Amino acid sequence: MNTNSDLQRLTALRPALQLRAELTAYIRAFFRDRGFLEVDTPLRLAAPALEEFIDAEPAGTGWLRTSPELQLKRLLAAGYDKLFQLGPCFRQGELGRLHQPEFTMLEWYRAGADYEAILADTRALVIGAAQALLGRTTLERNGHTCNLAAAWDDWTVDAAFARFAGQTVDQVLAQDDGAFETLLVEKIEPHLGHDQPAVLRDYPLAFGALARRKPGRPDRAERWELYLAGIELANAYSELTDAAEQRRRFLACAERRRRDGRPVYPLDEAFLAALEAGLPPCGGIALGVDRLLLLLAGARDLRDVLPFPAGT
């Protein structure tokens, strides 16, 4: 790369870097004011969470974390009731306009709560951040003005598939692997979150690896995703607290990964022991901070708001 043009690019990034510094400061103040404890968990893990389609980067004798979720839940089991973490996570091979293999994740957890309480936090956070950083509560994108302060759309996955894909979720799940994701991308997501944020909730159980079953709908997981100005920003669960079910899901996931030729990580026995000892009912969320920055900056590609992105 030409040295001068690289330095010019970095110089021109100053507004994005300033916005990012204000955003992380705002996030820390937001959670401190609400009584959350900020923690830092290890970057390198001996047993990253087993998820069917998330691959960890090998690092020394272990792997770089794909999420701090298992460590934060061990702290919850130890009695910490409101926790957050802001820091890097790594996912192998994820590179695109809205993906970087190294990215900044915000996770927070509330004991004695479920995904509804997390939704209330999230609404306060994104409205508050936009107001504090931009002096307004609207985002412009793709010719739409997304009004953050308006009532948020709220779709169940079942209702969204019926409305936009013309098929029931169960019909789609009976088709080949990947049909659900393909319809989600081609038919559902284009309708979500343009004029006001949209929540898509209650996913098929297979798409909620660490989420609890919905009461009355054991084939659905209490999970929602948030779409802001058309971009998927955050993923929240009412957390699964049943140790036996979590172990069964991990083992089934390990088997599918083996079948698909993906690396299989060891079970995190310390995490499973914490669930056995008793994880309180809790809700938690992972929010992509780089994507939130992109939205606030009005950028189209993560590479336009990060000083040292991969894939350039």
Partner 1 sequence: MSNISVSELRKGAKVEMDGAPYLITDFDFCKPGKGQALYRCKLKNMITGSTMDKTWRSADKVDTPDLSNRDVTYSHSEVDMFVFMDSETFDQIHIPASVLGNQKYFLIENAECQILFHGEKPIEVTLPIFIEKRITHTEPGARGDTATNVTKPATLDNGWEIQVPLFVNEGDLVKIDTRTGQYSERVSKA
The residues binding partner 1 (CB under 8 A) are 51-54, 93-99, 177-178, 180-182, 184-186, 189, 203, 207, 209, 225, 232, 235, 260
Q: How far is CA 7 from CA 100, 293, 304, in A?
A: 21, 22, 14
Minimum distance of partner 1 from residue 192's CB (angstroms): 11
Residue 26 or 53 with smaller CB distance to partner 1: 53
Minimum distance of partner 1 from residue 62's CB (angstroms): 22
Rounded Cα distance between 223 and 211, Å, is 6
Minimum distance of partner 1 from residue 182's CB (angstroms): 6
Half-sphere exposure of 265 (CA within 13 A, CB side): 25
Minimum distance of partner 1 from residue 180's CB (angstroms): 6
Residue in the structure block whose two tokens are 């830092």: 40
Residue 129 or 209 with smaller CB distance to partner 1: 209
Residue 23 or 236 with smaller CB distance to partner 1: 236
Question: Would you give the distance in Å from CA 85 to the centre of its chain?
Answer: 13
Our separate counts of H helices and E strands in the chain read 10, 14
Residue 55 or 121 with smaller CB distance to partner 1: 55
Q: Which helix (H) or strand (E) holds 284?
A: strand 282-288
Minimum distance of partner 1 from residue 115's CB (angstroms): 15
Residue 219 or 260 with smaller CB distance to partner 1: 260
Q: Which helix (H) or strand (E) holds 289?
A: helix 289-297
